[in-house]
Structure 1
Amino acid sequence: MKKNLLTLDVALSKEIKYMLKEEHYLPGDKLPSERKLAELFHVQRLTVRGALNLLLQDKTIISKPRSGYYVAPKRILQSIRNFSLHSEEYSGQLTYELYDFKKIEADNYLASEMLLPEKSKIYKIVWLYSDGTQLICINTTYIPEYIYPDLTQQIAASAPAIDLITNNRQITLAKSNQKVTLLYADTKTAQILNIPVDSPLMKYKGLMYDKQGHLAVFFENNMLIDRFGFIREVVL
């Protein structure tokens, strides 16, 4: 019996996918209720629920408590070659806002990560990225003072840190070391991203170097785990 029920769930999930495509549902569009889907496909609501769970698992749809099911937003593609964000849905046009800017001294953690002497002067810049509907990423970038000696908050607010370095300072980023790990949102991160504490996130961090091998940037991104994917190259 379980095998037949599972087969029906899978078949119905494919039918719902086909419906979404043929009826031109867009990311963010709401699906019909479980009751209406059951009537439309002439199946029991239990079968509909199983099919919807399969679509939740493969990220075709998302569920909003006390609201219903919606077509999932497309993932933001993070290029590991040109360090930019790109989305099919938003054509790379993500919005960003400067959240914090300060000049600090490297503590033990930053000195170890950036291979700099402790108390080295560095800039800490925090950006909040949004896809137009919600905050999806907290980007924290650290720039050694020697890379951009006259950096100010006004300058930092004009463009993301990578653009400031490559365009304003004419520095070519030649190589990088990058790493993706799983973490769980602490209280502050959860408040900023408006998610529950201990929600799973991707931590994407890395070091970027110029042609001479000098460290130019150390970054740490806390990213919504269901909104990002990684690619080797973005084709524009």
Structure 2
Amino acid sequence: MPVELITIPCLTDNYAFVIHDAATGQTALVDVPEAAPIQAALDQRGWTLSDILLTHHHDDHVQGLEALRGNARVIGARADAHRLPRLDTEVADGDTLTVCGRDVHVMDVSGHTIGHVAFHMVDEKLLFTADSLMAMGCGRLFEGTPAQMWDSMQKLRALPRDTTVCSGHEYTTTNARFALSLEPDNKAIISRTEATKTARENGRATVPSLLSLECETNPFLRADDPVLAKAIDMADAQPAEIFTEIRARRDRF
């Protein structure tokens, strides 16, 4: 039986994700932007948290933790432990955890911050990326370098294309406009932009998204695509240089 995934809007534009396994009765949470809407979702279903996974230390991903901690096991990156809330389990790149009776692989995806991790539920094809890979974008580089983030993007891109990407924010509308500014004639980007507009007008989230769609329309996964390189007049540049340029353009957008 597959796990149940609940996407919970928090704060202004954050998302938290609740994972529930009916067979074991266990329930996990990825990131805690705000306690109240998460607790309401748990209460509605009669679920109690067994695990809380933290992707990185920023307040808008951890500030609701203490109100929800209870007896849950709190999991986060060893490299980030000095600035995360108290952890019960510290993890690093390449580790495998058991959460809700399922294997969860830990991936270091530094760039937005140093020590940012993603959690990959392999058999369920669920990937929790927070502020590394986003819908049609990637996180601003507050601590890492463009080269680090490009390396992280390649690691995530290498996963199976039918993976569902659960990212941390509803930024897709702006990210789509930026992608169109780079490639105004890209039919896949035009189509996704229109779909995003329709979804938001009808109050629907644009997260999660399929990795296959991100690989097709997310410029930050396509820094080695000759079509994108030509579109931004960098046909002779290396992928890391192209990634650096598009990240800088996004920062100014």
Asked whether the two chains share a fold, i.e. TM above 0.5, the reply is no
Q: Which has the higher Rg, Structure 1 or Structure 2?
A: 1
Higher relative contact order (CA 8 A, sep 6+): 1
Into which bin does the TM-score normalised by the smaller protein fall? Answer: under 0.3
Q: TM-score, normalised by structure 1?
A: 0.24
Q: TM-score, normalised by structure 2?
A: 0.23
* Bigger proportion of residues as strand: 1
* Bigger proportion of residues as helix: 2
